[in-house]
């Protein structure tokens, strides 16, 4: 079946603007994760959803970052008042509830000018 998909693949915005990044998980996967990957680094955990609720948002860097998953499937990562330091690849992953294997999407490359 289809894997994790993310849109857009690339997003260029100006400092101070608001952006939304979308993730479509693998069908049937109840767990969904957001990570951020800076150039030359490993992915860094941001937030984890189990169903519709955020089970762990300890990785969100500050209150400019927010994520939702209203129907337990598609998730949107929202960044307010973007800063140049927010530039990175934002990765989404999903997994079945009872397993640990996380499957990643291709990512959204965010560039803040």
Would you tell me which residues interact with other proteins (CB under 8 A)? 4, 31, 33, 35, 40-45, 48, 50, 56, 59, 91, 95, 97-107
Least separation in angstroms between CB 42 and other proteins: 3
Closest approach of Cβ 8 to other proteins, in Å? 14
Tokens of 109: 């490359």
User: Can you say whether the dihedral through the CA atoms of 95, 26, 111, 65 is positive or negative?
Assistant: negative
Distance CA(56)–CA(100), nearest Å, equals 15
Closer CB to other proteins, 19 or 29, in the complex: 29
- Nearest to other proteins of 71, 98 (CB atom): 98
Q: Minimum CB separation from other proteins for residue 104, in Å?
A: 4
| Residue with smaller CB distance to other proteins, 71 or 100 | 100
Q: Answer whether 20's CB lies under 8 Å from 74's CB.
A: no
**Residue 72 burial (CB < 10 Å; 0-12/13-18/19+)?**
middle
């Amino acid at each position: 079946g289809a894997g994790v998909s993310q849109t857009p693949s690339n997003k260029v915005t100006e400092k101070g603007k608001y952006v939304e990044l979308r993730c479509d998980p693998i069908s049937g996967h109840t767990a969904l994760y957001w990570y951020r990957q800076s150039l030359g680094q490993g992915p860094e955990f941001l937030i984890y959803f189990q169903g519709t609720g955020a089970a762990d948002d300890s990785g969100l860097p500050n209150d400019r970052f927010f994520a939702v998953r209203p129907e337990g499937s598609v998730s949107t990562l929202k960044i307010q008042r973007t800063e140049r330091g927010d530039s990175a690849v934002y990765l989404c992953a999903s997994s079945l509830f009872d397993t640990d294997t996380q499957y990643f999407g291709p990512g959204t490359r965010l560039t803040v000018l």
